[in-house]
Structures are given as structure tokens and as C-alpha cells.
Amino acid sequence: MAVAQQFLSARSTFNLQIYSNRCRNVRDGRISSSCSSFLLWRLATQQHVLQLSTSNKRCQSWAVNKAGRERLNVCANLYDGGPGTWSSSTSTILKAASTGRKLRMPSAEDLARMQLPALASSFAWEVHPHYEGVKAACDEWIERVAQLPSASASRFLRDCLLPRLVCLFIPRAQSRRRLVQAIKIIAWLMIADDDDDHPQLLGSDFDSTSHRADRLMAILTHPPSAAFDSIGADPRLSTRCSKQLAALAEVWQETCTEMSPLVRTRFTSTMADYLEGIKMQAALRKNVFVPDVDSYMEIRHHASFTVPAFIMVEYASGIELDQETLQNPKVTELCKKAVDYISLCNDVFSCYKEITIGDFFNLPSILYSCDLPIASSTKPLYTSFQDAVDHVAQLAKDLDACCTSLIASLKDDYSKPSIDPSSAHQMHAYVDVMALGMSGALAWFFETPRYPQPCTQNRSSYIGHCN
């Protein structure tokens, strides 16, 4: 849909989720989103007012002062289509602007000395009692989807324990069938995430990332009752990627028919946001554009598949909140904080691996590269990479405390005699899901070899301490 011209102060607090929801129509199986337009605005502005205009053919931005003009290149052809279309015509969202910032990567010595901070969760973790029973079948499916080049790579993938992550997320899944569906879809997202993050694969390829996003959204928005044509080879995608999309289409058709319209729409909508974030990351990597911390956190929140993963967790757990409850400010805040907690913990664990392949899109790297104590200073705020890693761990600790408070408050609110028992049960189950997701994700980060570390002395200390 067309977005009216808006004059927004860069100093004001603006909720990206609200904006994204306002700019999206989900109808007749087709989605229109202006999420990228706002992200461009956020990246281009700090202390000036920006006029943002989006039409069917062009998104243009004008900054009113010199700093703004230096930070932004006009980005054309973001969305070619009109209402209800999903466009993939953009070849580059953002070109590197002349910001005066240079990417400062940690030295080999910094990385060799890096130690995992003492991360923890306030919540106990559990694993689904049927984990061992579903692991073998799911591992076989995951290996077929991943299409790895060697037996050793397949063994490593099994050692990464992808089914265990989901069983930690959903220890109280309603049925084994739904648990397996959730494992397959979330594992698929994790396999795709490896390609999305790798600068030599899709990580810096905006065109291919956008085209795959179009194909993926076509799968997710296909009417559940209609037969789905088999997905063949796509000349614009690798054979591996085409086969992965076909595998997802098969499991999605089985899953979406059991979802309520509200849950299905929420999942599809959050996947649209996720794919927009992935495309923005690809454009930034391609142009070696280093966002500031606030911009990174906006993009990171949407480029994390944890948001749609939590909806899969709700589905597998038999939880379905009504629209009014979903709009409760405490509920929306809890979801955002929980997702950010998991994302920051992931950044701490994954930054070493990502830096070794040339990927700077993690918060420790952003902090180490960009943040200065005062505008006129050239001395970095973080004198060592370890300082930046430790700061991210402290941010995660603060988010954990915030989620603990929100969960306690929601449990109190929904324990009152005036609350409908069914609504109270749903809310208590929902906050348990969020808590288990946080603790389960952290436990898995410590367990899986997916994220190698130069120093491992803190790695084994967490396992079992919350159980």
C-alpha cells in the first residue's frame, strides 16, 4: 500500500513494529511491506528531520542538514508494485555513505585472547521428554535439506544438535507431530541462516537474497487449501537452494493446514519482517556499511528468525492468544526483550566464528568498530574487543532482568479472580514459553559446537546450573 509522506524527528522514539504493522496488508495471500523504507530512514538519520516518501516507483529521502546528506544516498526502486505486492526489483538498497567511520576489526591477538563472559538465565531450562525419539528422524531430514559435501560435515551438523534447540524451546509441546513440524521449520531457518550470514554466499548478495525471499513468501502465502505445485529448479538460485525451498514447501503445507488463520497470518507477517531484515543486512555487507548501534539493533531484531520461531513454539504448545492480548504493551515488550536477549547471547557466542569469515554484523564488532566516547574524539570507547564482548553480555543480563520483571507482572495480572480462567491459562503458558525459550537458547549456545571459541573455560560451567 502507498505510504503517505511523513515528517519524523530522529530524536523521537518510534516503534518499528507498530510502523511495520501499519505499512503491511495481509490479504488474499499477498503481502506489502514498507519495513525497508523505515530502516533506511533510521540508518540515515541521527539528529535531523527527514522527509520519507514512498510511492509505487521510488523511495526518496532528503536530510535537512549537511550531516544527513553525507550519510544517505538516495535509494531508488525499493518497491515497484502497488498495494498487496512483494517486490524484488532492487539491486542495491544502500550504498556506502561518506560517514567518516572506518571498520575496525579486532586483531588476531584480540580474538585469541577472547573469553566467553559468564552469561546466565534467571529461568530453569527443560528439554522435551521425547527428544531422543524425534532426534533421529529429524536429523535425517535436516541432513537431506542441508546437502552437505562430505560425511564429516554431516557428522558435524548432527553434533550441532539442531533438534535439541527446538526441544529446549518447546519442552511442553502439545503433540509429537507438532514438535516434529516445529523442529523441521526452525532447523530449516537455521540452515538458511548460515548462508544468509556468510559474506561469500548470500550474506553479501542482495539480488539472490531478495529473489529467494520472493520464492519463500510465495510458499508461505499460498492458500492452505490449494494444491501446491512442486518447486523445480530456479535459474536464479542454486540447485541446493531450490531443493531447500521445495523441502520447506512440503513441511509448510502439512503445518499450515493445522494452524488457525491468526497464527498463520502472524507467522507469515513476522517472516516478511525477517526477510526484510536479511535483505538489509546483505546490502550493508555488500557495501561494507557499518551501522550505528541503534540502527544495528533495529535491523537485528527483524533479521532474527527468533520472532517467527516463537510463533512456531506457540503453535506447537497449543497456545493462541487473542488479538487484544497480543496488543497488551507488556506482552509486546516481553516478546521484544526476550528476542533481543537471545539475539545478544547469540552475538556473544557467534562473533568469533563470524569475524573469522569476514562478517562484522554482530554487536561486539559494531561496538568495537563504531562507538566513540564523544563526537570530537578519535579514541575508541572499547580499547579491546573483550571490552565490547563483555558489554554485550551486560546488556543481555539487563534484558534478562527486564524479562523477569515483565513475566512476574503478567502472571500477577492474569492471576486475579476477575480474569477468565481460559485467558489466564493461555497467558501463564505463554510467559512460560518465553522464559523457556530464553533459558533453552542459552543452554544450547553453551552445548552446541556450532559456535567455536578460542577459550572454552566458561563453556561447561553453565550446563546443568539451571536444571
Query: Which pLDDT score is estimated for 12?
Result: 28
Q: Is residue 439 part of a domain?
A: yes
Residue bearing the bigger pLDDT, 400 or 238: 400
Number of domains in the chain: 1
294 part of a folded domain = yes
Cell readout for 247 is 523441502
Question: Can you give the pTM of this predicted structure?
Answer: 0.75
Please compute Rg for the chain using Cα positions.
22
Helix (H) / strand (E) element for 5: namely strand 3-9
pLDDT at 296: 82
In a domain, 9, yes or no: no
In a domain, 14, yes or no: no
pLDDT at 365 > cutoff 80 = yes
CA distance 131 to 118: 27
pLDDT above 50 (res 194) = yes
Task: Tell me which residue range forms the domain holding 143.
Answer: 107-207+279-447
CATH number of 126's domain? 1.10.600.10
Q: Is residue 177 part of a domain?
A: yes
Cα separation values, 220 from 36, 51, 192, 224, Å? 20, 33, 15, 9
pLDDT > 70: what percent of the chain? Answer: 67
- The predicted-structure confidence for 384-407, as pLDDT tens digits, reads as follows 899 999 999 999 999 999 999 999
The Cα–Cα gap between 232 and 92 comes to 27
Region 332-358 average pLDDT? 93
Q: Does residue 407 fall inside a structural domain?
A: yes
Report whether pLDDT(20) > 80.
no
Of residues 444 and 467, the one with the higher pLDDT is 444
pLDDT digits (tens, 9 = 90+) for 25-39: 322 333 333 344 434
The DSSP output letter for 221 is T
Question: What is the average per-residue pLDDT within 16-29?
Answer: 31
DSSP code string of 29-63? TEEE--HHHHHHHHHH-SSSEEEEEE-SSBEEEEE
- Residue 353, pLDDT above cutoff 80: yes
Confidence of residue 141 (pLDDT cuts 50, 70, 90): very high
Residue 385, domain member (yes or no): yes
d(CA 173, CA 133): 14
pLDDT at 228: 56
Do 420 and 324 contact (CB within 8 A), yes or no? no
Most confident of 237-251, 344-358, 374-388: 344-358
**Phi, psi of 307, deg, nearest 5:** -65, -55
Span of 40-54, 162-176, 355-369, 388-402 with lowest mean pLDDT: 40-54
**Average pLDDT of the chain?**
73
122 domain-assigned? yes
